[in-house]
Structures are given as C-alpha cells and as structure tokens.
C-alpha cells in the first residue's frame, strides 16, 4: 500500500500534529529544535542562531520532522520525518552532507557510537542502515543508499538506541515489545542475532534510554510506555529489574479521578556517568526525576518539577535538565524559542 501524505476523505483538521522535538549536542555546543517541518539550531557558545546549508532545492524538509539526533561524538546530526527523507548534517559547518530517501515515513533514528553508521526506522517496522564510509569533515557524501537491517514486521518502531558499548541496537515498537539485537561488524549484510526481548509493558513503548556509570559501563536500559510506567531492564537476558508507576508518583491519579486512561510517558533523558532519569509525562506540565540505584537495580522517585505554564514537555535531550536549581521555579521560555 502506498504511504501517502493524506488518506482519502481525510481533512486538514484530522491530520496529526507532529510534536516539537529538541536535541542537545553531547558537549552542549548547540541545541536543535524541530517544529513541524522547520529545523532550527542555536549555537550555545556564540549565542546566535545557526544558518543551515542544504544544497537541495526548496526547504530542507517538506513535511513534519519526526526524529532528530546528534551522534555520540557530536560531529554528526540527523533529521528525518514524514517526507521520507533522512538528512545527515555536519555539525562543524551545519551543511547537509547527505540526503537518503526512505520508502516509508521515518519514525526513529540512531547513530552508531563510532559514527560510521546511521540507522533509521520506517512506519512499516523496518530498520535501515546507511554506511558513512568516506565521511571526512564537511565533504558531501554522494550515492549513499540505505540497506534493510532488521524488521519488526509491520509494527511501527517508536525508538532506536545503541547500547553504551555499541554491541547492541535496541528497538521498541507500538506492540509493547523491545528487541535487543547484536550489531554486527557488517550491518549492510543485515543483522541476524537477537540477544533478547524485553517484555512486560502493557501498552506501546514510547521511548528508550540507557543509564550507566564508570562502575557499570554496560549500563541498564530504561523504557517509557503508554502504560504510564518506566521500567529498568538487563538487556543481556531481557530481565525486568524494576517498574516505576510514574502516574501515581507524579500525583496525576488524584487529578484524573474518574478517568480510566493512563498518562503515557512521552520521553526519557539520561546523561553519561549519571544515575538520574528525567521523565516527560503527557499529562504533567513538568519533569519527573527518577533515581536509579545501579547496584540494587531499582528505580525511585527523586523529585517532581513543574515547568512552564501551558507547555507540555513532549521530547527532550537536555543534560542540564538535571541541574534542577536552574529551572525548578522558572516560567520563562528560552529566548531562541520565543520567536
């Protein structure tokens, strides 16, 4: 079936509005924000907006952007979405060095820890990989095509993550499951070894992240879901280590008395060598901070911080969220978002 932008009989008011997305450079050199089809980047050191250079005709993206991501080393940035385009940018010049066409709309992206591969998932449940061999500074990569790597068989993939050691790629979907796959030396030939499945969520899995420290370099996986829980996993075995019911922890049950639906977890954010997890919940105008005890393998509530009025936290990747003293009582938007 053709993946069209608008189905027959569908009106503009029925079209899903893409959530605002935000990602921060691993060294906090810049912050990227995507709203609809617009992509903006702000230089945190220079204090000014970045001019994006894309040699393709027209706007960089022609439809809603669904995923943005910095590479682990901060040299690359990827944006992708409903226009079926995956754009790879150099963060040194903010020039689009490569545009890859997808067969379907893109729902998630990830970059390998060594920066050699870009992976993206489409709405049909297939994960594709692009080899970045030949990337040197700001030079454009030509004739790059994606190769199918693994599949969730018609289930929409919601999140992709590489493990801290780069050995595994983890994929989550709307059918409640998390798959841990061994990332091979030759991913263009496909991946064939499944390490484990992390099963336990009772609604769609919305987001994934890893929490790890120097004492626990392999880390543990944390996942958020539409069942209003954050769960802690050992990916080597797929074992569920702990479950935190964030809806009750954030005090949302009292305010939603009489309603049966859950408050989905929309995103998670962790930082390297840290044990705090920032959690965004759909019905909470703020952030819930969880603490992970890696030795005990447990999750516990650390703090609930209310943020900006009338602003839902949908997607974030901001390490300075963990410095709660900076924003716990703030009601102001960052200046570069006020335009």
Q: Which domains does the chain have, with CATH numbers?
A: 17-151 (2.130.10.10)
Asked if 211 contacts 292 with a C-beta cutoff of 8 angstroms, the reply is yes
Asked if 278 contacts 303 with a C-beta cutoff of 8 angstroms, the reply is no
Nearest in space to 64 (alpha carbons), one of 38, 36, 101: 36
Tell me how far apart the alpha carbons of residues 224 and 162 are, in angstroms, rounded to a whole number. 16
- Taking the CA atoms of 202, 212, 171 and 35 in sequence, report the sign of the dihedral they define: positive
| pLDDT attached to residue 248 | 80
Q: Helix or strand or coil: residue 264?
A: coil
Nearest in space to 307 (alpha carbons), one of 323, 290, 285: 285
| pLDDT attached to residue 140 | 72
Q: Tens of pLDDT along the chain (339 residues)?
A: 444 444 333 344 445 556 788 898 999 899 999 999 999 999 999 999 999 999 876 778 999 999 999 998 899 999 999 999 999 999 999 999 999 999 999 999 999 999 999 999 999 999 999 998 877 666 677 778 899 999 988 899 999 999 999 999 999 999 999 999 999 999 999 888 999 999 999 999 999 999 999 889 989 999 999 999 999 999 999 999 999 999 887 666 555 555 556 789 999 988 888 899 999 998 887 888 999 999 999 999 988 876 644 444 445 554 444 444 433 333 333 443 343
């Amino acid at each position: 079936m053709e993946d069209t932008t608008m189905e027959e009989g569908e009106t503009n008011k029925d079209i899903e509005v893409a959530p605002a997305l935000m990602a921060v450079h691993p060294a906090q050199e810049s912050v990227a924000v995507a709203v609809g089809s617009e992509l903006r980047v702000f230089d945190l050191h220079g204090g000014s907006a970045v001019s994006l250079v894309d040699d393709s005709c027209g706007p960089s993206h022609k439809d809603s952007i669904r995923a943005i991501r910095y590479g682990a080393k901060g040299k690359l940035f990827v944006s992708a979405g409903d226009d079926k385009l995956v754009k790879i940018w150099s963060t040194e010049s903010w020039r689009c060095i490569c545009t890859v066409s997808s067969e379907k709309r893109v729902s998630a992206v990830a970059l390998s820890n060594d920066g050699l591969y870009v992976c993206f998932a489409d709405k049909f449940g297939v994960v594709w990989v692009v080899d970045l061999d030949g990337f040197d500074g700001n030079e454009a990569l030509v004739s790059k095509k994606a190769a199918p790597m693994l599949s969730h068989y018609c289930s929409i993939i919601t999140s992709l993550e590489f493990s801290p050691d780069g050995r595994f790629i983890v994929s989550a979907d709307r059918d409640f499951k998390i798959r841990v796959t061994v990332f091979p030396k030759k991913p263009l030939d496909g991946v064939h070894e499944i390490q484990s499945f992390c099963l336990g969520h009772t609604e769609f899995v919305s987001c994934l992240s890893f929490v790890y420290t120097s004492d626990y370099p392999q880390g543990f996986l944390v996942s958020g879901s539409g069942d209003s829980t954050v769960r802690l996993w050992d990916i080597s075995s797929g074992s569920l280590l702990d479950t935190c019911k964030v809806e009750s922890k954030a005090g949302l049950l009292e305010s939603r008395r009489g309603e049966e639906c859950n408050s989905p977890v929309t995103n998670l954010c962790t930082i390297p060598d840290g044990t705090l997890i920032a959690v965004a919940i759909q019905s909470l105008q703020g952030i819930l901070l969880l603490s992970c005890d890696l030795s005990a393998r447990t999750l516990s509530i650390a703090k609930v911080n209310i943020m900006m009025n009338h602003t839902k936290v949908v997607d974030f990747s901001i390490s300075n969220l963990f410095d709660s003293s900076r924003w716990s009582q703030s009601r102001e938007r960052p200046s570069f978002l006020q335009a």
